[in-house]
Structure 1
């Protein structure tokens, strides 16, 4: 399977999956501008409102282009410092939320290891238009299994590396995250690793996504979830100012 990405694929995905947001935003802005025909707006206030709308509409696209199209995220260079061993004895688990852009690339980076892919997408719980649209165009890795977040059909202490790449935040409740992470802890071998990549609910992502940064969760939130699930050691490295790579060890 070809893993080379098209130019601007990341930002085009964001624009496509969240087009409802842009339709509403642009429509609202046009209504505000058109209202000048009937109301006497302060020109200064009008330009401030236009600036705020344009910032809110364009900045997420600019940051997404930087992170997903120009930073090398999908080259997986950020994985090299983790020094993961690749061998036929290794079992790697990649867990997604219904949109899989990484399994083929992950297999390319760990070609000898066995790769199993799980999808915890739940149509009743994951109803946001963006993820519904993303699922329709997602690649499906061979033998991908649909799972519930509280159960993985794997033996205890059987997995070397678990990947959660921009997926775990789709579980909105704290308890739901802990359920998934407890299963990750159960299936991981002693000294197995969980590698999670996420945007955080922090200041850089607020500047990037404005109110949209509430779709993500804080570093403290994730630390508490992993500790509750039984993980003892972890570290965080930044991949650009907007994404964090967490390395948790059972």
Structure 2
């Protein structure tokens, strides 16, 4: 099944899933303008605040449009950076947090492989408003199974590739990350690998998302989690300044 994305679907998703942020931001911006009209205060400070608000509201949308709509993220050409674009895996997993835009595309890229899709979303632990809204519009891949982060119901050393595509950061606890990655480690064949794509808590993402970059985790946090889970290699390749591809082997 070929999935065609609408123009600007990525940025429209950001607007839809994070609309509470934009509603509050616009209201705050209006209050600043009204206060300046009713009780004039420093024009310099006023414009600094206005520009800061506009930057905080618009920059995430500009960067999201670049990453998700214009960079080729959903064309999966970046797979060439991982060395698996021409491989012939038997079993692939795609594990998400309830919002799945990639499984049908992965199936098109690896038509001969068996693709199993798992969803680790737990409403009691993963409480972000954005992911709750995203789940309501996500396209469900056939036979997607609900799992917990501490148990993926497959045999040891049975999987060639595990994809974690912009999903693993929804696991907020470091200990839960390690437990989850230990499950991924258990499933990987000796020649298998985990391919994780994530924004990072770093300077480019701070410039893009301001305080919103705290929703992501640093490279060091991820490296410690993978090492604690038993992985012997952890390599990073940049896909745009705002996204990292991690290629991890058992």
TM-score by length of 2: 0.97
Deviation digits for residues 39-62 of structure 1 (CA, Å, limit 9, x no counterpart): 231011000000000000000000
| 2:158 counterpart residue number | 158
| 1:115 counterpart residue number | 115
Provide structure 1 residue ranges, at least 5 long, that are not aligned to the other structure.
none
| 1:74 counterpart residue number | 74
| 1:224 counterpart residue number | 224
| 1:202 counterpart residue number | 202
C-alpha separation in 2, matches of 1:191 and 1:227: 17
| 1:130 counterpart residue number | 130
TM-score by length of 1: 0.97
How far did 1:191 drift?
1.9
| 1:176 counterpart residue number | 176
C-alpha separation in 1, matches of 2:38 and 2:82: 61
How far did 1:11 drift?
0.3
1:1-250 matched pairs, under 5 angstroms: 1-84=1-84, 86-87=87-88, 90-250=90-250
- Decide whether the 8 Å contact of 2:197 with 2:245 is kept in 1: yes
- Decide whether the 8 Å contact of 1:18 with 1:129 is kept in 2: yes
C-alpha separation in 1, matches of 2:82 and 2:205: 25
C-alpha separation in 1, matches of 2:244 and 2:36: 44
- Secondary structure (helix, strand or coil) at the match of 2:245 reads strand
C-alpha separation in 2, matches of 1:155 and 1:50: 56
- Secondary structure (helix, strand or coil) at the match of 2:123 reads coil
C-alpha separation in 2, matches of 1:68 and 1:39: 42
- Secondary structure (helix, strand or coil) at the match of 1:60 reads helix
C-alpha separation in 2, matches of 1:35 and 1:127: 35
- Secondary structure (helix, strand or coil) at the match of 1:163 reads strand
- Decide whether the 8 Å contact of 1:86 with 1:111 is kept in 2: no
Q: Give the number of equivalent residue pairs.
A: 249
How far did 1:86 drift?
4.5
How far did 1:37 drift?
3.2
- Secondary structure (helix, strand or coil) at the match of 2:162 reads strand
Provide structure 2 residue ranges, at least 5 long, that are not aligned to the other structure.
none
- Decide whether the 8 Å contact of 2:2 with 2:108 is kept in 1: no
- Decide whether the 8 Å contact of 1:63 with 1:208 is kept in 2: yes
C-alpha separation in 2, matches of 1:99 and 1:86: 26
- Decide whether the 8 Å contact of 1:86 with 1:113 is kept in 2: no
Q: Following superposition, which runs of at least 4 residues in structure 1 exceed 6 angstroms of deviation?
A: none
- Decide whether the 8 Å contact of 1:86 with 1:112 is kept in 2: no
